[in-house]
């Protein structure tokens, strides 16, 4: 059911003609005891799904804001086992799809088969693993499929067209389009080539294409969303949540879906 929950949530947004907004938060930043409350808040604010970070000491794709949130989470004693246990406590009440963003090392340390099974048991709908290349993904892909967990692939601006086509053909749930050359973190602007890149990815898959990395305000989200199906926002959400600025998060999510005043530079 997990993957089906994600597929349905995204399909419902597209059917309604709405842009998809997926916020990222770090599990355990502020404590795991507030995870249910934060997920409920994000759903009520208009999130279609939530990307839930698993803290790791060496996050190669994360910028400073998310690295700091991971360090705070680790200092709180957050573990992968603890995240699974917490999600299980309110699984039956939850209707918001959860997508893990994690690295291979925590999965390997936890146990690959055990990880896939635990995802299903905790109701995790999908998994994103930025340091697992396409050539090595058989290590995990079949196990995730057996447990009805979507394996969401990342597409990079720097990849050649044929590789992007292969990645798009393999992805499940949605295609994560990395919209900058670098790590996560707020950017003042995106390169002009990003829009043609996003439109090209749309030709390679019938699944939603969501742009992530570097989206820090509603205007950027609307501009990127005009070329694809929606956006993933991480560092800005993490920063606002850390400082208790929940109203600003609501405004960002709702503003990103506003179809007015979209201008693509």
Q: Catalytic site residue 37?
A: no
d(CA 53, CA 83): 10
Q: Catalytic site residue 121?
A: no
Set 29, 51, 172, 229: catalytic member: 51
d(CA 58, CA 34): 25
d(CA 66, CA 156): 20
Buried b / exposed e along 202-229 (16+ C-beta atoms within 10 A)? bebbebbbbbbbbbbbbebbbbbbebbb
Q: Which long-range CB contacts under 8 A does 89-92 form with residues at least 24 apart?
A: 89/36, 90/36, 91/122, 91/123
- Residue 15's alpha-carbon distances to 8, 11, 206, 222, 242, in angstroms, are 10, 6, 13, 18, 33
CA 97 to chain centre: 11
Set 62, 172, 229, 239: catalytic member: 62
- Which residues are tagged catalytic? 51, 62
């Amino acid at each position: 059911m997990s993957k089906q929950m994600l597929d349905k949530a995204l399909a419902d947004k597209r059917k309604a003609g709405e842009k998809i907004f997926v916020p990222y938060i770090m599990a355990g930043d502020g404590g795991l005891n507030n995870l249910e409350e934060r997920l409920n808040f994000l759903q009520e604010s208009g999130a279609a799904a939530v990307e839930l970070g698993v803290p790791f000491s060496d996050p190669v794709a994360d910028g400073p804001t998310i690295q700091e949130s991971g360090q705070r989470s680790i200092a709180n004693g957050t573990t992968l086992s603890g995240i699974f246990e917490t999600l299980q406590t309110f699984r039956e009440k939850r209707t918001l799809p959860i997508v893990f963003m994690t690295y291979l090392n925590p999965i390997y340390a936890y146990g690959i088969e055990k990880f896939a099974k635990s995802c299903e048991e905790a109701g995790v709908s999908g998994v994103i693993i930025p340091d697992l290349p396409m050539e090595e993904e058989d290590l995990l892909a079949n196990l995730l499929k057996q447990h009805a967990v979507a394996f969401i692939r990342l597409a990079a601006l720097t990849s050649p067209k044929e590789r992007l086509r292969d990645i798009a053909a393999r992805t499940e749930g949605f295609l994560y389009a990395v919209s900058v050359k670098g790590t996560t973190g707020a950017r003042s602007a995106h390169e002009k080539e990003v829009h043609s890149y996003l439109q090209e990815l749309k030709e390679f898959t019938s699944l939603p294409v969501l742009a992530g990395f570097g989206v820090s305000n509603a205007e950027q989200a609307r501009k990127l969303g005009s070329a694809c199906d929606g956006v993933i926002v991480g560092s800005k959400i993490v920063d606002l949540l850390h400082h208790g600025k929940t109203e600003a998060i609501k405004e960002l999510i709702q503003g990103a879906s506003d179809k007015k005043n979209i201008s693509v530079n």
